A = this chain, B = another copy of it.
């Protein structure tokens, strides 16, 4: 670095520190530690490797060693979960102005961590039903193993089911950190508050949004770009059901948008691509936009119009 840097950098440092002291709002300098992004991601990855064992080829699980491998993983998972949940509970205590009793948050965190681990066998059963839904629902799927190895929808749903268990136990921050990690990885944004039953399959994944108070039945299938969303985003609606109910065996094709807390898509319905729905439809409906709703002209008869539209 040249001579001009050092004098200026001293001033820069001072102005940054001043900004931390004066500005407030986005500082966590002396407050409690927040949950660690890296820690939360590590937890999700351990859950995944316990739910889908042997799918990381780095590890070869031999029969006679399996109890050691599992034992090491579950103990690490309890420890890591306890640390991060504890941070998030302490954060809540302090941000609500309550006094933190030493050890209380940690004890509560450990309890929640153990509860979550006890759910792993049932999470595996649910994952198997999600795999089955994907395999039977997609003609391009060559095998169930290919689904587990390469379908982003499967990863997103498995992680959602973990995050949801933390959400319903009122753990702050971590469930949304988990769902956002999955969102970055897969393009699927499922709020951990959503209630989603078995056999849920999302194909192609990118751009799917499922809102916080959505209720989704068994064997529902979504394609890319589907939104299950709210009609209004007024802050005072935070505690209301703002998102639709999708009943059993509904298929929703690419780009469809279904909005509103009172909207119910009746069981067995098929929602066509790009359809925009803000009210209920009865069971066994087929909903679709008017076909061929476009114009076709010859390009050269049209002059330059062929160069229009973009970005």
Q: Chain B's nearest CB lies how many Å from the CB of A7? A: 10
Of listed A50, A52, A230, residue having the most chain B CB within 10 A = A230
Tell me if A120 and B19 are in contact (CB < 8 A): yes
Provide the A273-311 mask, 1 if CB < 8 A to any CB of B, else 0: 111111101101111111111111111101001111111
Q: Chain B's nearest CB lies how many Å from the CB of A126? A: 11
Chain B residue, CB-CB nearest to A52: B26
Within 8 A of B (CB), among A137-175: 137-140, 142-146, 148-152, 172-173
Q: Which residues of B contact A9 (CB under 8 A)?
A: 71, 74-75, 78, 114, 117
Q: Is A253 an interface residue (CB 8 A)?
A: yes
Provide the A45-66 mask, 1 if CB < 8 A to any CB of B, else 0: 0000011111111101111001
Q: Which residues of B contact A28 (CB under 8 A)?
A: 53-55, 61, 145
Q: Which residues of B contact A121 (CB under 8 A)?
A: 15-16, 18-19, 23
Tell me if A311 and B55 are in contact (CB < 8 A): no
Q: Which residues of B contact A233 (CB under 8 A)?
A: 137-139, 307, 310-311
Q: Chain B's nearest CB lies how many Å from the CB of A178? A: 9
Q: Chain B's nearest CB lies how many Å from the CB of A1? A: 6
Q: Which residues of B contact A34 (CB under 8 A)?
A: 54-55, 57, 145, 149
List of 6 A-B pairs having minimum Cβ-Cβ separation, nearest first: A229-B311, A28-B54, A36-B57, A19-B121, A150-B180, A139-B238
Tell me if B144 and A12 are in contact (CB < 8 A): no
Q: CA of A18 to CA of B207 in the docked complex: distance in angstroms? A: 37
Q: Which residues of B contact A35 (CB under 8 A)?
A: 57, 149
Q: Which residues of B contact A74 (CB under 8 A)?
A: 9, 12-13, 16
Q: Is A263 an interface residue (CB 8 A)?
A: no
Tell me if B140 and A211 are in contact (CB < 8 A): yes
Of listed A12, A17, A20, residue having the most chain B CB within 10 A = A12
Q: Which residues of B contact A287 (CB under 8 A)?
A: 294-296
Tell me if B230 and A311 are in contact (CB < 8 A): yes
Q: Which residues of B contact A132 (CB under 8 A)?
A: 25
Tell me if B293 and A276 are in contact (CB < 8 A): yes
Tell me if B118 and A311 are in contact (CB < 8 A): no
Q: CA of A229 to CA of B121 in the docked complex: distance in angstroms? A: 36
Within 8 A of B (CB), among A175-206: 176-177, 179-180, 183-187, 189, 191, 193, 203-206
Chain B residue, CB-CB nearest to A6: B75
Of listed A140, A204, A268, A291, residue having the most chain B CB within 10 A = A140
Q: Which residues of B contact A238 (CB under 8 A)?
A: 139-140
Partner of A257, one of B38, B107, B185, B273: B273
